[in-house]
Structure 1
Amino acid sequence: MGNDFQKQVQAFSKILLSFLVIILVLFGGLFYWANHKSKPNIVEIPLEESTEDYDKIENGIHVATGFIADTGMQVTIQNCTACHSAKLVTQNRMSREGWKATIKWMQETQNLWDLGANEELILTYLAKNYAPTDKGRRQNLEDIEWYELK
């Protein structure tokens, strides 16, 4: 009986070894396939050179930044857009004091440099072109031919 048991253990060992070899071959094949699939054909499309002039003004607006064209615009662009988007300026409306307080806050907390003589020019530009606007009810509609929906 001991001899039969050894034969059974040997047969089982051969089956187990065969099974492990098959598993290793399958996993090796999957690994190879996953890492050697054909790569997608990526073609780099060159960007077209912009013929747009950076300093172009259309309808009184600096095209590249959206700033209102006026005295002090270039200095304001140079000092403001070095750190943040022009949109951050153009979407705000403040009095001269509000702009001055904002500049002071940026100098104290955001590492904005001393603007020197340019500060007066920037404040004048911002206070003139980005001052608070009165918002209220729209004008009444006049000379309208009304009709009834049926």
Structure 2
Amino acid sequence: MGKQFQKQVRALSKTLLSFLILVLFIFGGLYYWANYTPQSDIVEIPLEETADDYDKVENGVHVATGFIDDKGMEATIQNCTACHSAKLVTQNRMSREGWKATIEWMQETQNLWDLGANEELILTYLSKNYAPTDKGRRQNLEDIEWYELK
């Protein structure tokens, strides 16, 4: 009885496995077709960006990238945004040594090219405009009309 029972269990296991594979295949196909979008329905919307818009600076900030308008901005845009978003730069704050170490790390591990004469200009720009800031504690709130929540 033991061998016969084992054969039946194996047969049942194979049947259940086949059934599960069939169910997954059916539901996968249904999911695919439910979310299918024919290529002819996709319409490309052209960007209306001109060279004039790209160079636009408002309130001391380069509109297209968010970089602070200052000497060295163009070189920084050309060398940094070729590989990553400008936001990756503008969200960081580092000393000159920190920016230098970051550039060296990118050159060693991320295939950043030698910046040559632009390196000094870029480091000066970044360390001036994206230096660490002392935030400290926020200022006390004054002249506030408080109310009770009910």
- Aligned partner of 1:8 in structure 2 is none
Task: Kindly indicate whether residue 43 of structure 2 is the aligned counterpart of residue 44 of structure 1.
Answer: yes
The alpha-carbon distance between structure 1 residues 148 and 63, as it changes in their structure 2 partners (threshold 3 A), is same
The alpha-carbon distance between structure 1 residues 48 and 121, as it changes in their structure 2 partners (threshold 3 A), is closer
Residue pairs, 1:40-119, within 5 angstroms:
42=41, 44=43, 46-47=45-46, 49-50=48-49, 53-119=53-119
C-alpha distance after superposition, 1:7-61 (max 9, x if no partner): xxxxxxxxxxxxxxxxxxxxxxxxxxxxxxxx79737364253356101111111
Instruction: Structure 1: state its 5+ residue gaps.
Output: 1-38
C-alpha distance after superposition, 1:67-125 (max 9, x if no partner): 11111000000000111111111111100000000111111111111111111110000
Q: How many residues align structurally?
A: 112
Secondary structure, in 3 states, of the residue corresponding to 1:53? helix
- Aligned partner of 1:27 in structure 2 is none
Q: CA deviation at 1:143?
A: 2.9
The alpha-carbon distance between structure 1 residues 131 and 40, as it changes in their structure 2 partners (threshold 3 A), is closer
The alpha-carbon distance between structure 1 residues 41 and 111, as it changes in their structure 2 partners (threshold 3 A), is closer
What is the TM-score with the length of structure 1 in the denominator?
Answer: 0.66
- Aligned partner of 1:129 in structure 2 is 129
Q: CA RMSD in A?
A: 2.2
Instruction: Structure 2: state its 5+ residue gaps.
Output: 1-37
Distance in 1 separating the partners of 2:39 and 2:82 = 39
Overall identity of the aligned pairs, in %: 82
